[in-house]
Amino acid sequence: MATDTLKSSGTGAGGAAGVRRLLLDNGALTALIVLVIAMSALSGDFLTTDNLLNVGVQAAVTAILAFGATFVIVAAGIDLSVGSVAALSATVLAWSATSHGVPVFLAVVLAVATGVAAGLVNGFLIAYGKLPPFIATLAMLSVGRGLALVISAGSPIAFPGSVSHLGDTLGGWLPVPVLVMVLMGLIAAFVLGRTYIGRSMYAIGGNEEAARLSGLRVNKQKLAIYALSGLFAAVAGVVLAARLSSAQPQAANGYELDAIAAVVIGGASLAGGTGKASGTLIGALILAVLRNGLNLLNVSAFWQQVVIGVVIALAVLLDTVRRKAGATPLAAGTGGNKGRQAGTYALAAVVTVALVAATSLLHTGSSSATPKFGLSLSTLNNPFFVQIRAGAQAEARKQGVDLTVTDAQNDASQQANQLQNFTSSGLGAIIVNPVDSDAASNSVKAADKAGIPVIAVDRGVNNATTATLVASDNVTGGELAAKTLAQKLGGQGKIVILQGQAGTSAARERAQGFANGLKAYPGIQVVAQQPADFDRTKGLDVMSNLLQAHPDVQGVIAANDEMALGAIKALGSKAGSSVSVIGFDGTPDGLTAVKNGTLYASVAQQPSQLGKIAVDNALKAVKDQKLPSAIKVPVKVVTKDNVAGFTG
Amino acid sequence: MSNPDELLRIEGIRKSFPGVVALDGVDFDLRRGEVHVLLGENGAGKSTLIKMLSGAYTPDAGRILAGGEEVRIHGAQDSERLGIATIYQEFNLVPDLTVAENIFLGRQPRRFGMIDRKRMEADAEVLLKRVGVNVSPRARVRELGIARLQMVEIAKALSLDARVLIMDEPTAVLTSEEVEKLFVIVRQLRADGVGIVFITHHLEEIAALGDRVTVIRDGKSVGQVPAATPQDELVRLMVGRSIEQQYPRERTETGAALLSVQGLTRDGVFHDVSFEVHAGEVVGIAGLVGAGRTEVVRAVFGADPYDKGAVKVSGTALRRHDVGAALAAGLGLVPEDRKGQGLVLDASVEENLGLVTLRQATRAGIVDLRGQHAAAERIAGQLGVRMAGLGQHVRTLSGGNQQKVVIGKWLLADTRVLILDEPTRGIDVGAKVEIYQLINELTAAGAAVLMISSDLPEVLGMSDRVLVMAQGRIAGELAADEATQDSVMALAVSTPGTPASPTTSLTPTTTDKEAGRGH
């Protein structure tokens, strides 16, 4: 208050000074440059045209979502629903075009309209219903995701070919998602900078009451702002699905947080009133560079998440420190500038050192002589896949192979990014455990084009050539599970089925197997089938709920051991006595339960065998040996009788 | 330097922030039992100086002595230990705690680890009695009006056994009656030996309350004079030049009625309010805080709804609760809470100036930014907004310049009836006069001005007619020549319906009419 600055801004800013000023005024840009320099220094594969275009593609979906979120955040709101709305829009497009023969053009319009409608509902609840934005959009997050699952019946729907070109490249090298990102970015910048609604966003976000008393129609503007956010989410959803050639109801899960992070890293304040499209783009690029670089550097999948979190915090901290130091505006040319610069440089130095130290520490060193393979796992949240990794890593060590393992966290598009990174860093072979069999096809095709053999493990890849598929047969396994339980119950009784995560091939195939197997036993009555997402906690909750409705149930088939173990918790002392539970996978926990008698049987795959065999076959493929199209790793039913002799 | 009465001495204090030197050699001293007024324009460095004493800032150079010994004040604890208590313009009270809890916040008396509520409330009661305010220690602070909040702050300072009490513009938000009550308390404290640093923009308060005056200009102390110094001389010291006239109202021919309000009523808030404002006329609205003045003008402007009545501009009725309609009819509002309602603080001067005309400057959804820039440049020049450039954030402007920006955005929209709610609150003398000149220019151009002010000399000096509100009703109307402080106050404390004679003099401090509404 007492510090009224009347000095004019510094003069004589030459070219170099101009650049320095630009960097000082934009902490995020500094952070991005530091990051790029650090990554180039650490990995020779980073600074190539191919890889930089990859980074662009990988940033595209987050960036487009984040542009929409920028509108909302500048207006002092928040939109948590963008990820769900993106998935919903893509699902609507695929469903109307593929399943119902609506002309593709109309289907695209329908998809965009869906996004806008969801945004309008958000806006209406917030502007006229006076709901806090957090709550209104949280509700939409759930509704959008639910509707996407309802429309698609839980399965991915193939994307119409003409729209899938949005995920391709132009002239063989320029990726269309990057173009769309740039276009949407320009639109966002134009809307924010030049249009009535854009200027209103800043006024409303800066001081809603002052805006209202200056004659701005705040409620109408809010409606439009959330509708714009929905529109951008729809575009992001279509681009995402086009990249994967498949609309996935579970796509873009959690992307709203990435989008918000990108906006905030880009210099916007959650309190509203500030933010720029360029900053948001930089924020999205920082996230993409980080993920890409950590993949290339072979940083452990678990540590990657830690590093990403730390960098988000540091990037925003950098900006806050910079702003605090420059709280008195237009300080150029006076003494105070020094402290501010020092602060920025110091923090930039800390970021660099932390990053270099962390990555080189976590970076398992490699020499060029040994063959390099990449393994992209769908998730590491489940012991089954952890065992695949263990088997593969043990074999790789034995054979002298340098194996990079990534975790796609059950997100098909993240997996596409990782496969793209593998391809561009020129690995000898890629082993993929697809999140979704359809969604992985584009990435695998790209690897084929680059002459890199791809081995699929556990789940196949559709519409693309893989050297071989190393898998245990889910359908057969499902049939075996059904048969085992039916025989145990003597062909009579009520059972429930706990299904896997809707939209995954394992869930579908196992369910198919259960159904096939039960056909032979008409006396078995399935009283309920509910998904519990391959998750132990959800298995516990769903089983507890089902027991309320069906206390007399005699058998449970769970599509994996984790859910079976959750169900056993819910059943308590009934498990193993009056209720027989059958699981799937033969994980260590599952086998222990079989030993203890609470789990009647588990259809055991041999996950570490899957990993080992995959690596072996990758080596063969590199040596151009002929491989069979599929290698079946036997499944077998493990009960108390044979559990002692069984090892995964 | 061993004057036993000396509580505090500041020598050659310097403080700079990135890009600006806030204080550059300030000397100041405070004795037991005196009221030492700090006088200076906004931005002169008064707030920075008191923040040094309260520990919010530390000086870059210079010395602070307390009781003859050099001290360092690094935080609120240090200043508390030295017996320095500060009452800022923005109060440091927690709205949802009780009065007693606020007074003893962080120091609640405890028994067996539990707060001893009974003792705390009894102690609070004693303190409240000492400051002469009739409020229950169990009342929630949220429910108190602004004058009482201030009394609670003073009680809190007393509970700390403060030997030095710093008051930053305590009278800015009070009505003249409340100011009198405050003075009684301050004089009482002075008699008890407390040294009081008093910041005010109201020159007449200096003679009434102060002992000595230190004038600060551009971060330097430019003089220490007795409080009896003539106002002209004080102004000259403060602004570095002499100001001819404090209230330079130039009356113009009044024309047709531009704004007419008929029987405006919102149940429980204001009743049957009718008045007219003519072209070329300044109509002042006086009254106590809580009399319903702000509520009436907000309803007229469409910011809030009303239950009965009508608002007409040039004969056309306005839709109820519709800011857009008011705007289209040529109404403008400069709200009471400049920062909270008038400005987008973190936006630039240019953006704030263009806020009202944003829609007009839009073609096919796209804003004519160049036109907006040119308009902002023109009006900022015309108003003499002191700034580094149109891109400067308004948060960093001084109060007077901020207010010019708020008025400027309405001038750009060719406003024909401008409503000013406390237009000069917290603004220094120089900028005040500039705002009065603006009002003159507006009326000379045929616009009408409706001005709420709690600063009685201002209402009397600038209005052509004065409406006085009391308890949500218009208690009376006075022409410029019959309006005096006494006649206005008599109406302000009257109960409307029972006509009060404008000549009745009143004894202040006997009634507490502040209607117990906070914000």
* Distance in Å, alpha carbon of A272 to nearest chain B alpha carbon: 10
Model ipTM over 0.95? no
Would you say the CATH fold of A474-604 matches that of A374-470+609-631? yes
Q: Is residue B375 part of a domain?
A: no
Q: How far apart are CA A512 and CA A481, in angstroms?
A: 12
Tell me, yes or no, whether B185 and B260 share the same domain. no
Judge whether B83 and B98 are in contact, CB under 8 Å: no
B318 and B208 part of one domain: no
* Token code pair at residue B29: 């001293």
Closest CA to A466 of A628, A226, A266: A628
Main-chain phi, psi angles of A433, to 5 degrees: -115, 95
Residue B3 CB contacts under 8 Å (≥ 6 apart), including other chains? B31, B68
User: pLDDT tens digits, residue range B135-152?
Assistant: 888 888 888 877 788 888
SS (H, E, C) A291-312: HHHHHHCCCCHHHHHHHHHHHH
DSSP code string of A398-433: HHT-EEEEEE-TT-HHHHHHHHHHHHHTT-SEEEE-
With cut-offs at 50, 70 and 90, classify the pLDDT of residue A345: low
* Residue B137 and residue B205 in one domain: yes
Q: Residue B142 maps to which CATH number?
A: 3.40.50.300
At which residue do the structure tokens 């927690």 appear? B94
Most confident region among A118-122, A211-215, A415-419, B348-352 by mean pLDDT: A118-122
pLDDT at A366: 46
Q: Are B47 and B155 contained in the same domain?
A: yes
The two three-digit tokens of residue A578, written as one number: 């009056």
Domain A374-470+609-631: give its CATH code.
3.40.50.2300
Chain B residue with minimum CA distance to A330: B19
Is the pLDDT at A283 greater than 90? The verdict is yes
What residue numbers bound the domain in which B270 lies? 252-330+416-519
8 A C-beta contact, residue A355 and residue A311? yes
**B219 and B119 in one domain?**
yes
Position B54 confidence tier, pLDDT thresholds 50, 70, 90: confident
Q: Give residue A346's Cα distance to chain centre.
A: 33
CB A582 within 8 A of CB A556: yes
| Integer Cα distance of B473 and A574 in angstroms | 77
Give the Cα separation of B183 and B205 in Å (integer). Answer: 9
Distance CA A571, CA A594 (A): 15
Q: What is the rounded average pLDDT for all residues in chain A?
A: 85
Q: Closest by alpha carbon to A82, among A228, A256, A265, A254?
A: A256
My answer on whether B209 and B150 are in the same domain is yes
B235 and B270 inside one domain = no
Q: Which of residues 380-439 of B touch A (CB under 8 A)?
A: 386-389, 392-393, 396-399, 401, 409
Domain annotation covers residue B403: no
Structure tokens at B414: 């060719």
Q: Does B61 touch chain A (CB under 8 A)?
A: no
Going by C-beta distance under 8 Å and a sequence separation of 6 or more, which residues neighbour residue A342? none
CA distance A295 to A422: 8
Could you tell me if B302 and B323 are in contact, meaning their C-beta atoms sit under 8 angstroms apart? Answer: yes
Interface of B with A in 116-155 (CB under 8 A): none
Highest mean pLDDT range out of A267-271, A572-576, A597-601? A597-601
Which one of B194, B211, B239 terminates a domain? Answer: B239
In the predicted structure, residue A352 carries a pLDDT above the cut 80: no
- pLDDT at site A634: 78
Neighbours of A115 (CB within 10 A): 30
Which of B22, B324, B335 has the CB atom closest to A3's CB atom?
A: B22
Cα dihedral: A435, A440, A443, A448 (round 10):
120
Q: What is the pLDDT of residue A4?
A: 38
What are the φ/ψ torsions at residue A286 (nearest 5 degrees)? -60, -45
Question: What SS3 class is residue A220?
Answer: helix
Show which of B186, B210, B239 is a domain's final residue: B239
Is A328–B396 a contact, with Cβ atoms under 8 angstroms apart? Answer: yes
Cβ atoms of residues A399 and A620 within 8 Å = no
Distance (Å, whole) CA A549 – CA A555: 14
Contacts of B397 in chain A (CB under 8 A): 4
Helix (H) or strand (E) holding A183: helix A176-194
Between chains, do A195 and B43 touch, taking CB under 8 Å as contact? no
* Chain B residues within an 8 Å CB radius of A329: 19, 388, 392-393, 396
Q: Report yes or no on whether pTM surpasses 0.80.
A: no
Bridge partners of residue B86, in order along the sequence: B166
- Residues A605 and A586: their CA atoms lie apart, in Å, by 6
CB–CB of A3 and B43 under 8 A?
yes
A183-192, A530-539, A583-592, B58-67, range with greatest mean pLDDT: A183-192
Q: What is the pLDDT of residues B369-388, one digit of tens each?
A: 999 999 999 999 988 888 88
Q: How distant is the Cα of A185 from the closest Cα of chain B, in angstroms?
A: 17
Same domain assignment for residues B288 and B208? no
Nearest to B221 by CA among B62, B1, B89: B62
From the CA of A5, how many Å to the nearest CA of chain B? 6
**Rounded Cα–Cα distance for residues A562 and B19 (Å):** 62
User: How many other CB atoms sit within 10 Å of the CB of residue A622?
Assistant: 17
The answer to the question of residue B198 being in a domain is yes
Q: Which residues of B are less than 8 Å from A340 in CB distance?
A: 18
Whether pLDDT at A142 is above 60 = yes
- Taking contacts as CB-CB distances below 8 angstroms, the residues of chain B near A207 are 340-341, 343-345
Confidence bin at A540 (pLDDT 50/70/90): confident
**Residue A435 near residue A378, CB atoms below 8 Å:** yes
Residue whose structure tokens are 């509404």: B517
- Please calculate the CA angle B243-B249-B255 and round it to the nearest 5 degrees: 160
> Torsion over CA of A270, A306, A258 and A386, rounded to 10 degrees?
-150
Mean local confidence (pLDDT), A432-447: 86
Using DSSP's 3-state secondary structure scheme, residue B154 falls into: helix
Tokens of B428: 């220094």
Q: Which two tokens stand for residue B205?
A: 């308060």
- Given this model, what pLDDT does residue A372 score? 86
Q: What is the total count of domains within chain B?
A: 2
Sign of CA dihedral A615, A621, A626, A628: positive
Question: Domain residues of chain A, as ranges?
Answer: 17-43+297-326+337-364, 57-296, 374-470+609-631, 474-604
The span from the CA of A331 to the CA of B20, in Å, is 8
- Tell whether B187 and B287 lie within a shared domain: no
In a shared domain, residues B10 and B113: yes
Q: Which residues does A645 contact at the CB level (< 8 Å), separation at least 6?
A: none
Beta bridge partners of B473: B470
> E strands of A501-579, at which residues?
524-531, 555-558
Which residues lie across from B213 on neighbouring strands? B37, B225
* CA closest to B370 among chain A residues: A194
Indicate the residue type of A473: D
pLDDT for A567 beyond 50: yes
User: Are the C-beta atoms of residues B293 and B300 closer than 8 Å to each other?
Assistant: no
A-to-B residue pairs, Cβ atoms closer than 8 angstroms = 151
Report CB contact under 8 Å: A206, B345.
Answer: yes
Residue of B100, B72, B73, B102 lying closest to B87 (CA atoms) = B102
pLDDT tens-digit series, residues B466-498: 999 988 899 999 998 888 888 888 888 777 764
Q: For the residues A38-64, what does the mean pLDDT come to?
A: 87
Q: How far is B411 from chain A (nearest CA, A)?
A: 12
CA A567 to chain centre: 28
End residue of a domain, out of B178, B206, B239: B239
| B323 CB within 8 Å of a chain A CB | yes
Say whether pLDDT at B231 is over 60. yes
Is A474-604 CATH 3.40.50.2300? yes
Domain-located, residue B401: no
Contact A502, A249 (CB under 8 A): yes
B364 lies in some domain: no
Contact B317, B325 (CB under 8 A): no
Q: Name which of A271-280, A439-448, B267-276 the model is least confident about.
A: A439-448
CA separation for the pair A520, A431 (Å, rounded):
37
The reply to whether B262 and B222 lie within a common domain is no
Model confidence at B2: pLDDT above 80: no
The answer to whether residues B225 and B267 belong to one domain is no
Task: From residue B239, give the alpha-carbon distance in Å to each of A129, B171, B218.
Answer: 52, 21, 9
Residue A9, pLDDT > 50, answer no
- pLDDT for the residue numbered B503: 40
* pLDDT above 60 (res A290): yes
**Quick count: other Cβ atoms within 10 Å of Cβ B316?**
10
- Phi then psi for residue B213, to 5 deg, are -130, 130
Q: Counting Cβ atoms within 10 Å, is residue A592 exposed (0-12), middle (13-18) or buried (19+)?
A: middle
What is the rounded distance in angstroms from the CA atom of residue A626 to the CA atom of residue A90? 39
HSE, CB side, 13 Å, CA atoms: give it for residue B462. 35
- In this prediction, residue B317 has a pLDDT band, given cuts at 50, 70 and 90, of very high
When CB atoms are compared, the residue of B43, B333, B346 closest to A206 is B346
Q: Quote the minimal CA–CA distance from B302 to chain A in Å.
A: 9
Write down the pLDDT at residue A256: 92
Residue linked to tokens 């594969």: A45
Decide if A4 and B42 are in contact by the 8 Å CB cutoff. Answer: yes
Q: Which of B315, B260, B255, B314 is nearest to B281 (CA)?
A: B255
- Report the residue of chain A nearest B355, measured CA to CA: A214
The answer to which of A63-67, B41-45, B344-348 has the lowest mean pLDDT is B41-45
CB-CB under 8 Å, A9 with B388: yes
> Using CA atoms, how far apart are residues B7 and B28, in angstroms rounded to an integer?
11
Q: DSSP strand E in A411-518: where?
A: 429-432, 454-457, 468-471, 493-499
- CA atoms of A491 and B509, how far apart (whole Å): 95
Residue A248 pLDDT > 80? yes
For testing the chain A interface, which of B367, B418, B519 should be mutated: the one with the most A CBs within 10 Å?
B367
Cα–Cα nearest to B416, from B321, B304, B260, B280: B280
User: How many Cβ atoms from other residues are within 10 Å of residue B226's Cβ?
Assistant: 11
Tell me the backbone φ, ψ of residue A12, rounded to 5 degrees: 70, 35
Check: CB of residue B211 under 8 Å from CB of residue B38: no
